[in-house]
Amino acid sequence: MILYELIPLDVLRVIWWLLLGVLLIGFALTDGFDMGVGALLPFVGKTDSERRVAINTVGPVWEGNQVWFILGGGAIFAAWPPLYAVSFSGFYLAMFLVLAALILRPVGFKYRSKRDSAAWRNGWDWALFVGGAVPALIFGVAVGNVLQGVPFEFNDMLMPLYPGNFIMKLLGLLNPYALLAGVVSLSMLMMHGAAWLSVKTEGAVKVRATEIGSVAGMVAFVAYILAGIWLAFGITGYHITSVVPDNGPSNPLFSTVEHSGSWMQAYADRPWIAIAPILGLAGIAMAVRGLRAGREVSTLLWSKLGIFGVISSVGLTMFPFILPSSKMPDASLTVWDASSSHQTLFIMLVCALIFMPLILAYTAWVYKVLWGKVTVEDVERDSHTVY
Amino acid sequence: MDFGIVELSRLQFAMTAMYHFLFVPLTLGLSIIVAIMETVYVMTNRPIWRQMTKFWATLFGINFVLGVATGLTMEFQFGMNWSYYSHYVGDIFGAPLAIEGLMAFFMEATFVGLMFFGWEKLSPVKHMVVTWLVAIGSNFSALWILIANGWMQNPVGAHFNPLTMRMEMTSFFDVVFNPVAQAKFVHTVSAGYVTAAVFVMGVSSWYMLKGRHFELARRSIAVAAAFGLASALSVVILGDESGYETTHNQKMKLAAMEAMWETEPAPASFTLFGIPDQQDRETKYAIHIPWVMGLIGTRSLTEQITGIDELVKGSEERIRNGIVAYDDLLKIREAKGDVSADVEKQFNENVGDLGYAYLLKRYVDDPRQATDAQIKMAADDTVPTVWPIFWSFRLMVALGFSFIALMVYFFVVSNWKGMQYPRWALRLAVIVIPAPWIAAELGWFTAEFGRQPWTVDGVLPTALSVSHLSVGDLLFTLLGFVAFYTVLFVIEMGLMIKYIKKGPYQDVEVTQEWLQRHDDRLSGRDGNAPVTMPAE
């Protein structure tokens, strides 16, 4: 097939870097509010019915939302195999914890209201809390670690290796900067969950959600600024020192990388990327204002814009790096040397172009059908078909 | 290379995959049965069919959610535990997984919420379409997963790139239309349909034995028997074997399934019973049925099925070719591709056997230094342990045939004997509920254990595919999975049994009222002449 040569390899690589961002942001915008609602659950619902209201706002949609995450994993596997291989095994125990927390969530949604016992429901409420809060935190921690570089290297067969024993590896991930990044992601998604609840609920649940959500939003705002300052002055960046092999084979060891200078150099080289952190901060600030003023749909949209800005700021700051290595900088994965082959990238792009619009269309239709508030009366009237 | 890591990684993958497949077959089949029931409801507007739809959908939901949850583990475990595998074949293997997400899983997961929450918000026809989309989504999911799995059994449409040290796709078409994958897809989804049919029949039979929900039960059995009969025939007739002649290792698997140590003149006989002895390379106490194996394995009377001993000799030769390729690979990598045409030509001639050289890595770091004895040992490694494959295959086939018998019986009684099921048959239907799950797990065991010592047939040995983890990592997650999955299983079974015991609880009054009217109409109590031929 010569068809795939229509699009040069370097262009495909950048497109797939953008699509990776689209998937991660799509995940954060949709499943993000599911996780936020989970993390808010013990605080917004004081009675069983109130908690069921919160759960039922996401009940019909969390499953579809979660596919953004699964598809993200699949797309990384298909388009960035070295990234998939190194990150999933390098963060082994952290991935296991995320997995365990994410498995609790579907089960919690589905099984919680299938029995009447208070102990049963309480147990699942905690499962949903863990299933929301833990991944939200760990995703931020992971980003914090990626910005600092992760200790991995390749042997001559391109086998990824990582030093240290397993407990130390896990504890090593929980360094102060990574935890700060974790605070950003957790508080941001709690704010997003609150914005969702303010659209979908009324009365006591909504009041509590907006109160907690506006505090979470302010925490996210401050933590994001702190993380930015720390990144500028306390974290060493990475840059490629050899000729950039845009169209070369995907072998990370073919280029040389230096661990020096600052990530913030990117803002001097490409000033326009400053728009991302500005959008992030503006979105969060407006979402907090909206929550306090009791605005609904516009708040949710601002919250989405904030998340979009924050996540894209990380990607744009690091470009072309995807996963730098602190142990062996030359092994760092970049947009130019960690992708699939030309043909695979092309085929996957065709598939994405066919199916993404369809996915967006039917997802929008489902949200439209389910539009409207979930009330205490709803869940009490119908205790069987809803969660 | 640490053998402990490989064994633990395999154990964890086997455990989580087989656990995942406790939920998948029921999802595949029950989604379609529910959609069929809802279609009948939409066409006839009879409330009993809506009640049936909702009842079976409740059980579907309890099962579905664990299939989704444990599927997450599968999607991540390649990267977590098999990182060299992920690097080495991700260019090909990742694509079907991603397409599964794009095309199938997104659809299934987005609409499943509406399927449960949309009864009040959608018209009957729209709701039926949603249910069908869930069913189609689950089945498409299976298609792409089996394309990925089929490629591990028969790696077509790909070549090795020495500069990136991995396999890269050469033909997407070949990967998708891989005959092994297509056979596997039909076989696997049919097995899922049988599972669901047996489940629906078993639960309904239990209601009949208890004298409960008779109207729901007899209609459910009618659907399940027809659907199950077609599927049970499809599982056996369109079996999984059509691809076993395509590669060296698939031949090895076939020979292991049959414990066929030496090549027999065609058509080979089928060993009905026997105790395979790996050490002496013979099958003791064997009972042979002439001709049958040749027919099953090759669909012909003249083609030979190659025996294990002959295949091992072939492996040895391929290992020696692989060493040549390995040597050239180092030269090419050293020069970053800038080598003489001779080296390149020699490499291209032998690269197909490169994976065989990797088999030596278990014994020696540099395959080029391998002794003859080591080559011999590595060649012997290409034979999987025979007896588990031999027996799991036989058990699976026996179960498969027994499902046909069961379905034929219920189909006949439901269509021509006025649905008068004797109590022994109902009891039998309850007892066999677990059987299709056992058959499905045995089938996967045969396919995947029989693929050893490779993760990708002839391309990458299992021992080389693992992540660079510690035994501590693996013990932690393995024990974590065991504990976590056991708790989930107990919870799931508890809920399943609770909701089966509870029976249909939705639309009870409206269904009851309709049944009464329907009954009056049939017997003439409503003032009109009695209807002699019931409409259903």
Question: In angstroms, rounded to a whole number, what is the distance separating the alpha carbons of residues A161 and A327?
Answer: 10
Per the DSSP assignment, residues forming a β-bridge with A333 are A323
What is the CB neighbour count within 10 angstroms for residue A182?
23
User: pLDDT tens digit string along B146-183?
Assistant: 999 999 999 999 999 998 999 999 999 999 998 888 88
Per the DSSP assignment, residues forming a β-bridge with B166 are B161
> Where in chain A are the domains?
8-373
State the best of B16, B76, B132, B465 to mutate against chain A, taking most chain A CBs within 10 Å.
B76
Integer CA distances (angstroms), A363 to A26, B104, B112, B119, B369, in order: 12, 13, 12, 18, 58
Nearest to B237 by CA among B187, B297, B197, B182: B187
Question: In angstroms, rounded to a whole number, what is the distance separating the alpha carbons of residues B284 and B305?
Answer: 20
Nearest to A337 by CA among B134, B245, B165, B229: B165
Using an 8 Å Cβ cutoff, are A16 and A80 in contact? yes
pLDDT value of position B530: 62
Low-confidence ranges of chain B (pLDDT < 70): 1-3, 240-249, 295-299, 529-536
Residue of A nearest to B93 (CA): A78
Residue recorded with tokens 């995807």: A322
- Cα end-to-end span (Å), chain B: 65
User: Hey, is the C-beta of A359 within 8 angstroms of any chain B C-beta?
Assistant: yes
State the best of B86, B105, B485, B502 to mutate against chain A, taking most chain A CBs within 10 Å.
B86
- Write out the DSSP string of B437-492: HHHHHHHHHHHHHTTTTEEETTTEEHHHHS-S--HHHHHHHHHHHHHHHHHHHHHH
Please count the residue pairs, one from chain A and one from chain B, whose beta carbons lie less than 8 angstroms apart: 249
User: Hey, is the C-beta of A84 within 8 angstroms of any chain B C-beta?
Assistant: yes
User: Hey, is the C-beta of A262 within 8 angstroms of any chain B C-beta?
Assistant: no
Using an 8 Å Cβ cutoff, are B457 and B154 in contact? yes
Q: Give Cβ neighbours of residue A375 (< 8 Å, ≥ 6 apart).
A: A53, A201, A202, A203
Minimal Cβ distance to B73: which of A86, A99, A250: A99
Q: Distance, in angstroms, between B55 CA and closest chain A CA? A: 11
Backbone angles phi, psi at B531, to 5 degrees: -90, 125
pLDDT value of position B247: 64
Residue A237 has what DSSP assignment? Answer: -
A347 chain-B contacts, CB cut-off 8 A? 95, 169, 172
Question: In angstroms, rounded to a whole number, what is the distance separating the alpha carbons of residues B233 and B191?
Answer: 10
State the best of B60, B91, B126, B176 to mutate against chain A, taking most chain A CBs within 10 Å.
B91
Q: Is B141 helix (H, G, I), strand (E, B) or coil?
A: helix
Question: In angstroms, rounded to a whole number, what is the distance separating the alpha carbons of residues A248 and A246?
Answer: 6
Backbone angles phi, psi at B75, to 5 degrees: -60, -35
Residue of A nearest to B126 (CA): A369
A114 chain-B contacts, CB cut-off 8 A? 62, 495, 498-499
State the best of A3, A157, A382 to mutate against chain B, taking most chain B CBs within 10 Å.
A157
Interface contact B105-A70, CB threshold 8 A = yes
Interface contact B110-A347, CB threshold 8 A = no
Backbone angles phi, psi at A38, to 5 degrees: -60, -45
Interface contact B495-A78, CB threshold 8 A = no
Per the DSSP assignment, residues forming a β-bridge with A150 are A325
- Write out the DSSP string of B243-256: GTTSSHHHHHHHHH
Report A:297-316 residues touching B (Cβ under 8 A).
none
β pairing state of B460-461 and B454-456: antiparallel
Question: In angstroms, rounded to a whole number, what is the distance separating the alpha carbons of residues A40 and B445?
Answer: 43
Residue of A nearest to B116 (CA): A385
β pairing state of A333-334 and B158-161: unpaired
Interface contact B87-A159, CB threshold 8 A = yes
Q: Is B535 helix (H, G, I), strand (E, B) or coil?
A: coil
Across B243-358, where does the E strand assignment appear? Answer: 270-277, 282-289
Low-confidence ranges of chain A (pLDDT < 50): none
User: pLDDT tens digit string along B397-424?
Assistant: 899 999 999 999 999 998 887 778 899 9
Report A:169-188 residues touching B (Cβ under 8 A).
none
Minimal Cβ distance to B98: which of A96, A106, A348: A348
pLDDT value of position B1: 44
ipTM: 0.91
User: Hey, is the C-beta of A373 within 8 angstroms of any chain B C-beta?
Assistant: no
Residue recorded with tokens 């690097």: B87
Q: Distance, in angstroms, between B429 CA and closest chain A CA? A: 27
pLDDT value of position B535: 47
Cα four-point dihedral sign A126, A127, A132, A136: positive
- Write out the DSSP string of A132-149: HHHHHHHHHHHHHHHHH-
Residue of B nearest to A371 (CA): B121
Question: In angstroms, rounded to a whole number, what is the distance separating the alpha carbons of residues A188 and A190?
Answer: 5
For residue B224, which amino acid is it? A
Using an 8 Å Cβ cutoff, are A36 and A196 in contact? yes
Question: In angstroms, rounded to a whole number, what is the distance separating the alpha carbons of residues A19 and A350?
Answer: 12
Question: In angstroms, rounded to a whole number, what is the distance separating the alpha carbons of residues A90 and A249?
Answer: 23
Using an 8 Å Cβ cutoff, are B319 and B379 in contact? yes
